[in-house]
Chains A and B, each alone.
Chain A
């Protein structure tokens, strides 16, 4: 494994304007992503977890420039993607693919499976001719566990699991190095989800793929990821190796999130001793001053209301909490607050 990461995100900031009035001037900003740092080593799986509205999906989309970030740096194989002129994005998207949550929305309803998978190859000039591409499509479908009898089907004729396999085959068709999976298994029943997770696991070993796995499901993440980054209100609040973040969480939000996941151990219902988060996530248009988690934090103290914590190094990871503060500040990806 080389020391230069495959993907390196620094100080990523994607704000969406809130427009109002006749002239549709921005009257405020939704701070969807507000100073995010991430790093994916070649061959690794990094999970980005958090609840609805925390900005995890916007991070994925910003990396691909499906939405344009305002600030920050995204280096992929050493190249700064945010500096690329738009026409060059096509070559980027050959190396960096995304699989969404809802395959029915992602697939063109008028394209048969065969054409949906071949489309990217044509765009990127992969395969010498139609015959070679057809052979590759057949091989890809077999690889993702789809019967060749489905080649002529339309998306609406497939089950949810089959559709997601088509999306994976379509992404793999252009031989990407990094696959962004945005809640790719969330809409599937658990038995089908297990099939797709096993497939992703095998593909990684076979093709040397890396994943940025965006998910709200900590069970899935624990199974697949090498490292986990936890997001809350547009920022990463904890990051580290999976065993550390999920086994010995440092940030109070990570702890509460883990506590909230229903236990599957029939001998240990967690009802009674569980730490409960009161209230709901504040609006990303007006994140709380100081630590963004402080209004819901069970361990809040005075400083948290006044001052925004940086990411402090903890063991092999980091936590954005004053309780984790030591001598070293690991990163300064924060965007200065107005």
Chain B
């Protein structure tokens, strides 16, 4: 069973059968990330989208081996640039994180040291991954600040994080993530805390940098507008599983999974003015109540007897696949 989504170039990141579990209050372990398969080609932006609690952020943390106890990665294969990341020790992981894999998060303040000047933090990141003289590291930090569009970069290197605005902090974070020239950037809700005009600036920057550096991006977001602006391909997650994968056009223009269809229908911007929004009835159940079959079945208008079993991938078109019994039946696959 694999996501047969074709991609544009050679695979940079391959994730297969990733399972990450947490214990419930009743002592049982529940897979919050449940057999997730993903592929990101070199230079490609893959968006992993879903609502709160669907497991998209935990998927990213699992890929980077950053799951904190009592969470645990139980199974799965992660291959980066042809090399399996299984069984690497903490020292090797420290080199990969911030090295081959750069990461930025929603709230830059949680990733920046509040009592250290941002310049020193960028220089530290550079020297952690490469043996360069302080003077050279300083020069590179300045170049990075210029590249991510921080005005008056020299002065800003000497600023403390709290002296920077939200947009500037996010730019500083991006500069730091780029310092070791990563092959893969994991961006977890990178613009969610920002106002739209600043968000637009950061999205432009990420797009330019991806093209310029040939860097692949795993974009974690709940915002389908951001997906449309930045992504090449999209994977939709619901209750711990990827339910639909395809190109940006496949998923946003011709979505097939009932959950994706419902999600798109509930967007005010896609609904005629004054018309009722499409409602997905109910809410996502808590993980300990996730059914063993299709997890969306309880809220799905198209659910039928077969949905008591977990659906396998059904290819819709080249590169567009869906995990849904109703769609499989309709297509006759």
On whether the two chains bind one another, the answer is: yes
Say yes or no: A267-B253 contact (C-beta < 8 A), given A190-B51, A262-B223: yes
Whether B277 and A194, one on each chain, are in contact in the complex, defined by CB atoms closer than 8 angstroms, is: yes
Shortest Cβ distance from B246 into chain A, in angstroms?
Answer: 11
Binds B, one of A96-104, A124-132, A271-279, A318-326: A271-279
User: Which of A189, A191, A193, A257 is close to B197, meaning CB atoms less than 8 Å apart?
Assistant: A257
CA distance A160 to B53 in the complex (A): 12
Tell me the B residues contacting A by CB distance below 8 Å: 51-52, 151, 165, 167-168, 195-201, 203-204, 207, 222-226, 228-229, 248-249, 252-253, 262-263, 265-271, 273-274, 276-280, 283
A264 touches B283 (CB 8 A): no
Contact B271–A223 (Cβ < 8 Å): yes
Which residues on the B side are within 8 Å of A210 (C-beta)? none
Q: CB-defined interface of A198-220 with B at 8 Å, one 1/0 digit per residue?
A: 10010000000000000011111
Contact B283 A192 (CB under 8 A): yes
Q: Is A332 among interface residues, defined by CB-CB distance under 8 A?
A: no
Give me 6 A-to-B residue pairs in the complex whose CB atoms sit less than 8 angstroms apart, sorted by A's number.
A51-B195, A189-B52, A223-B274, A257-B197, A262-B199, A267-B253
Q: A222 — which chain B residues lie within 8 A by C-beta? A: 268-269, 273
Inter-chain contacts of B268 with A (CB < 8 A): 194, 197, 217, 219-220, 222-224
Once bound together, how far apart are the Cα atoms of A257 and B52, in whole Å?
Answer: 26
- B206 CB, nearest partner CB in chain A, Å: 11
Q: What distance in Å separates the Cβ of B232 from its nearest Cβ neighbour in chain A? A: 11
- Please count how many residues in chain A sit with their CB below 8 Å of the partner chain's CB atoms: 46
CB-defined contacts of B224 to chain A, threshold 8 Å: 190, 264
With the chains together, A189 CA to B56 CA distance in Å? 14
Contact at A198–B279, with CB atoms within 8 Å? Answer: yes
Q: How far is the CB of A39 from chain B (nearest CB, A)?
A: 21
Partner of B279, one of A194, A257, A269, A274: A194
A159 contacts the other chain (CB 8 A): yes
Asked whether A280 and B198 contact (CB < 8 A) given A262-B225, A266-B248, A271-B204, the answer is yes
User: In the assembly, what is the distance between CA of A61 and CA of B167, in Å?
Assistant: 27
**Does A198 lie within 8 Å of B197, measured CB to CB?**
no
- Bound together, the chains give a CA A192 to CA B168 distance in angstroms of 32
Distance between A71 CB and nearest chain B CB, rounded to angstroms: 28
A161-191 toward B: CB 8 Å interface, digit per residue (1/0)?
A: 1100000000000000000000000000111
B interface majority secondary structure: helix
Cβ of A224: which chain B residues have Cβ within 8 Å of it?
Answer: 268
The verdict on A79 contacting chain B, using a C-beta distance below 8 Å, is no
Tell me if A286 counts as interface (CB < 8 A to partner B).
no
| A123 at the binding interface (Cβ < 8 Å) | no
Residue of B nearest to A224 (CB): B268
Q: How far is the CA of A195 from the CA of B201 in the complex (A)?
A: 31
Of A162, A190, A243, the residue contacting B273 (CB under 8 A) is A243
Q: Knowing that A194-B265, A194-B267 are A-B contacts, what are 8 other residue pairs whose CB atoms are under 8 Å apart, sorted by A's residue number?
A: A160-B52, A161-B283, A191-B262, A194-B266, A256-B197, A261-B269, A262-B225, A264-B225
Say how far B295's CB is from chain A's closest CB, in angstroms: 14
**Do residues B277 and A223 form an inter-chain contact, with CB atoms below 8 A?**
yes
- Nearest chain-B residue to A246 (Cβ)? B273
Interface residues of A (CB under 8 A from B): 51-52, 159-162, 189-195, 197-198, 201, 216-220, 222-224, 242-243, 256-257, 259-267, 269-271, 274, 276-277, 279-281
B203 A266 Cβ-Cβ under 8 A: no
User: Which residues of chain A have C-beta atoms less than 8 A from B278's C-beta?
Assistant: 194
B223 & A198 in contact (Cβ 8 Å cutoff): no
Q: Give the Cβ gap from A103 to chain B, nearest Cβ, in Å.
A: 14
Contact of B269 among A159, A162, A264, A276 (CB under 8 A): A264
The answer to whether A201 touches B201 (Cβ under 8 A) is no
- The answer to whether B51 touches A262, judged by C-beta atoms less than 8 angstroms apart, is no
Question: Which residue of A has the minimal Cβ distance to B247?
Answer: A266
**Quick check: B200 and A193 within 8 Å, CB to CB?**
no
Distance of A290 from chain B, by nearest CB (Å): 20
Q: Is the CB of B252 within 8 A of A260?
A: no
Asked if A266 and B253 make an inter-chain contact with CB atoms under 8 angstroms apart, the answer reads yes
Contact residues in A for B199 (Cβ distance below 8 Å): 260, 262
Residues of A within 8 A of B195 (CB): 51-52, 216, 281
A192, A195, A257: the one contacting B196 at CB < 8 Å is A257
Residues of A within 8 A of B265 (CB): 194
Bound-state Cα–Cα, A159 to B151, Å: 42
User: Across the interface, do B283 and A159 meet the contact criterion of CB distance under 8 Å?
Assistant: yes
- A259 to B283, alpha carbons, bound, how many Å? 32
> Counting chain A CB atoms within 10 Å of each CB, which of B200, B225, B265 scores highest?
B200
B201–A262 touching, CB < 8 Å: no
Cα A262 to Cα B221 in complex, Å, equals: 13
Residues of B with C-beta under 8 A to A261: 196, 225, 269
Contact check, B228 vs A190: say whether CB atoms are below 8 A apart: no
Q: Is the CB of A260 within 8 A of B225?
A: no
Q: A262-B229, A263-B228, A266-B228 are in contact. Are A191 and B196 (CB under 8 A)?
A: no
Complex contact A190–B267 (CB within 8 A): yes
Q: Cβ of B253: which chain A residues have Cβ within 8 Å of it?
A: 266-267
Cβ contact within 8 Å between B196 and A198: no
Residue in B closest to A220 when the chains form the complex, CB atoms:
B268
* Residues of chain A lying within 8 A (CB to CB) of residue B51: 189-191
Distance to closest chain B CB from A209 (angstroms): 16
Residues of B within 8 A of A197 (CB): 268, 277
| Max count, chain B CB within 10 A of own CB: residue among A160, A266, A271 | A266
Residues in B whose Cβ lies below 8 Å from that of A216: 195-196
Please tell me if the beta carbons of A259 and B266 are within 8 angstroms of each other in the complex.
Answer: no
* A residues near B165, Cβ cutoff 8 Å: 280
For A187, give the chain B residue with the smallest CB separation. Answer: B52
Q: Contact at B267–A276, with CB atoms within 8 Å?
A: no
Are B201's CB and A276's CB within 8 A? yes
Minimum CB–CB distance from A225 to chain B (whole Å) comes to 9
A324 nearest CB across to chain B (Å): 21
Given A51-B195, A270-B229, are A190 and B222 also a contact pair (CB < 8 Å)? yes
